[in-house]
C-alpha cells in the first residue's frame, strides 16, 4: 500500500480540535497530537540542544523551565527563531517516522493549534479547519481552563490567525457551533478521506 495521505486538523483555541480528533479516533483514524509530542521531545531528545542554545537554566530537574524560556523568547524574534529551529524540525522528523508506522491506513491526522500560523500545513496533503463562533469559544475556554483570566483568553485568541483566514486555506471545514450536528460531519469527512 502507498503512504497514507496526511491531513492537518486545526482551529483556534476552544474550537474543539481535541474533541473532533477523538471522534476521528473512534472511527479508527491514527491521530498525531503535535503539541503534546513537541512537549515530549522537549523533555527528552531536545534537552541537550536547548541547553546548548539557552544555557543550563533552561531545565529544572530534567523538565523545561517554561518561565525561563518564555523570558528568553518573549518579544525577541531572533531567540524565538532559534527555539523554533530546534523544535520544528524535530517534530517534523518525528511525524514522518510516525506516518511510516501507519502505512496500512488510508489517511492520518496531525492535530495542532498553530498549523496555519507556523506554515506547517503546507507539508500536509489536506487541511481540516474546525470553526466555532468567537463567543462560544471564549465560554468553552472559561469553563475548561478556570486558571486563565479573561484577558489571557482574549490575548491568546488575538494572537491566533482568524477563523476566516484559516477557512480560506482549508480543504474541509467542520462547523462546531453546537447547532450543526458534529458526528455526521465527521463520519462524512472520514468516508471522503478513505476514498481519496
Ligand atoms: P485548545 O486549542 O485549547 O487545545 P481545542 O480546539 O482542542 O482547544 P477542545 O479542548 O476540543 O478545544 O474543546 C474546548 C472545550 O469545549 C472542551 O471542554 C470541550 O469538551 C468543549 N466542547 C468542544 N466542542 C463541544 C461541543 N460541540 N459540545 C459541547 N462541548 C464542546
- The 3-class SS string of the chain reads CCCCEEEEEECCCCCCHHHHHHHHHHCCCCEEEHHHHHHHHHCCCCHHHHHHHHCHHHEECCEECHHHHHHHHCCCHHHHHHHHHHHHHHHHHHHHHHHHHCCCCCEEEEECCCHHHHCHHHHCCEEEEEECCHHHHHHHHHHHCCCCCHHHHHHHHHHCCCHHHHHHHCCEEEECCCCCCHHHHHHHHHHHHHCC
Averaged pLDDT for residues 144-166:
93
Instruction: Tell me what the pLDDT averaged over the chain comes to.
Output: 95
Q: How many CB atoms lie within 10 A of CB 140?
A: 19
For the chain, first and last CA: distance in Å? 13
pLDDT digits (tens, 9 = 90+) for 104-132: 999 999 999 989 998 999 999 999 999 99
Distance CA 12, CA 96 (A): 24
Give the distance (Å) from ligand 1 centre to CA of residue 95.
Answer: 24
Beta bridge partners of 33: 111
pLDDT band at 30 (very low <50, low <70, confident <90, very high): very high
**Ligand 1, residues at Cβ distance < 6 Å:** 11, 13-19, 113, 140, 144, 176, 178, 182
Give the distance (Å) from ligand 1 centre to CA of residue 174.
Answer: 13
Residue with the three cell numbers 469527512: 189
Domain 37-101 fold is: Rossmann fold (3.40.50)
Q: Is the pLDDT of residue 91 over 90?
A: yes
Give the distance (Å) from ligand 1 centre to CA of residue 164.
Answer: 19
Give the distance (Å) from ligand 1 centre to CA of residue 112.
Answer: 14
pLDDT band at 97 (very low <50, low <70, confident <90, very high): very high
pLDDT band at 179 (very low <50, low <70, confident <90, very high): very high
Q: Which CATH architecture has domain 1-30+106-196?
A: 3-Layer(aba) Sandwich (3.40)
Q: Is the pLDDT of residue 80 over 90?
A: yes
pLDDT band at 1 (very low <50, low <70, confident <90, very high): low
Q: Which atom of ligand 1 is nearest to the CA of 176?
A: 27
Q: Quick one: cell of 115?
A: 498549523
> Residue 2: what pLDDT?
75
Q: Choose the residue to mutate in 18, 116, 141 for probing ligand 1, maximizing ligand atoms within 8 Å of C-beta.
A: 18
For the chain, give every residue range classified as CATH 3.40.50.300: 1-30+106-196, 37-101
> Residue 165: what pLDDT?
95
Measured over the CA atoms of residue 136, residue 120, residue 19 and residue 126, the dihedral's sign is positive
Distance CA 20, CA 65 (A): 31
Distance CA 138, CA 156 (A): 10
Report how far Cα 190 is from the mean position of its chain's Cα atoms.
Answer: 19
| Nearest alpha carbon, ligand 1 atom 28 | 178
Amino acid at each position: 500500500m502507498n503512504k497514507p495521505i496526511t491531513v492537518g486538523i486545526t482551529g483556534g483555541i476552544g474550537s474543539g480540535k481535541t474533541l473532533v480528533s477523538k471522534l476521528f479516533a473512534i472511527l479508527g483514524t491514527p491521530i498525531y497530537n503535535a503539541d503534546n509530542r513537541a512537549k515530549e521531545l522537549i523533555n527528552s531528545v531536545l534537552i541537550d540542544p536547548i541547553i546548548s542554545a539557552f544555557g543550563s537554566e533552561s531545565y529544572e530537574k530534567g523538565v523545561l523551565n517554561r518561565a525561563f524560556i518564555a523570558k528568553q523568547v518573549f518579544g525577541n524574534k531572533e531567540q524565538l527563531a532559534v527555539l523554533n529551529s530546534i523544535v520544528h524540525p524535530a517534530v517534523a522528523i518525528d511525524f514522518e517516522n510516525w506516518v511510516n508506522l501507519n502505512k496500512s491506513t488510508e489517511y492520518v491526522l496531525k492535530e495542532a493549534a498553530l498549523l496555519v500560523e507556523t506554515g506547517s500545513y503546507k507539508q500536509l496533503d489536506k487541511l481540516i479547519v474546525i470553526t466555532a463562533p468567537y463567543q462560544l469559544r471564549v465560554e468553552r475556554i472559561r469553563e475548561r481552563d478556570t486558571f486563565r483570566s479573561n484577558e489571557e483568553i482574549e490575548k491568546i485568541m488575538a494572537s491566533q490567525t482568524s477563523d476566516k483566514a484559516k477557512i480560506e486555506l482549508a480543504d474541509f471545514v467542520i462547523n462546531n457551533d453546537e447547532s450543526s450536528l458534529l458526528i455526521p460531519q465527521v463520519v462524512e469527512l472520514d468516508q471522503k478521506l478513505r476514498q481519496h
